[in-house]
Amino acid sequence: MEKTTENILEIRDVSMIYGQVKALQNIDLTVRKGEWLAIMGPSGSGKTTMMNIIGCMDKPSSGSVILDGREISGMSSRALTEMRRDRIGLIFQQFHLISYLTALENVMVAQYYHSMIDEAEALQALERVGLKDRAKHLPHQLSGGEQQRVCIARALINYPRLILADEPTGNLDEANERIVLDLLRRLHAEGSTIIVVTHSPEVAEYAEKTIVLEHGRIARTTRNAD
């Protein structure tokens, strides 16, 4: 049963324990629709675990996670796959493009697993990230920045309710970092909800709200000025 709410994500008292290791402890977090949240923290602070839970790739040991009005903490792996496919757009630090498919085909792969293939729409998504003329290129023929933009186009193609970006500028030079962040800013301005995991304070500055994780807990939350 879906709840109608202004929040895209509600995390209540979530803990994640691997054996003796407490990766997350009693996390409470709310993300509004259209909000841009940055998650920061040192290595081992629980950022990746949090990403996995929000991205429907893992289930918490305890607590409640409501994504787009649906409780996901008790979902089967098949239902989680469906949530991931229908509601989340993923952007990765290492781009993760399929090496034997062109930029256009990489975007179409997300359509293939989601519903229908629409080549024109995929081409439009590439145009949106400024790569229409590179559509037929294989990943190794593209620069790092271009690969990340293809990754963004792929994340957007199915109109996700939430864009989840893991260190999206971590492998980019300054010029490409700016291009990618401008793209994210444009998406946010168009109403997309974005959660970015980053080490970079500069990247976090683009977000409306930043949480800092330390030892699996939220150490502080800050609201950034416009």
Distance CA 106, CA 200 (A): 28
Cα–Cα nearest to 51, from 62, 64, 40, 35 = 40
Rule CB under 8 A: is residue 57 a binding residue for other proteins? yes
Question: Contact with other proteins (CB under 8 A): which of 35, 68, 105, 177?
Answer: 105
Neighbouring residues of 134: CB distance < 8 A, sequence distance ≥ 6: 103, 126, 141, 142, 146, 150
Torsion of CA 60, 61, 63, 64, to 10 degrees: 30
Contact between 86 and other proteins by CB under 8 A: the answer reads yes
At closest approach, how far in Å is the CB of 6 from other proteins? Answer: 26
Instruction: Read off the tokens for 15.
Output: 């803990």
150 lines the binding site for other proteins (CB under 8 A): no
109 vs 208, beta carbon nearer other proteins: 109
Which residues within the stretch 163-182 sit at the binding site for other proteins (CB under 8 A)? 166
Q: Is 113 in the site for other proteins (CB under 8 A)?
A: yes
Is residue 134 part of the contact set for other proteins (CB under 8 A)? Answer: no
Q: Is residue 19 involved in binding other proteins (CB under 8 A)? A: no
Give the C-alpha separation, 29 to 21, whole Å: 21
Enclosing H/E stretch for 96: none
Q: Is residue 92 within the footprint of other proteins (CB under 8 A)?
A: yes
48 binds other proteins per the rule CB under 8 A: yes
Shortest distance (Å) from residue 24 CB to other proteins: 14
Q: Of 33, 26, 71, 32, which Cα lies nearest the Cα of 50? A: 26
Q: Which residues bind other proteins (CB under 8 A)?
A: 48, 51-52, 55, 57-58, 78, 81-82, 84-86, 90, 92-94, 96, 98-101, 105, 108-110, 112-114, 116-117, 119, 138, 154, 166
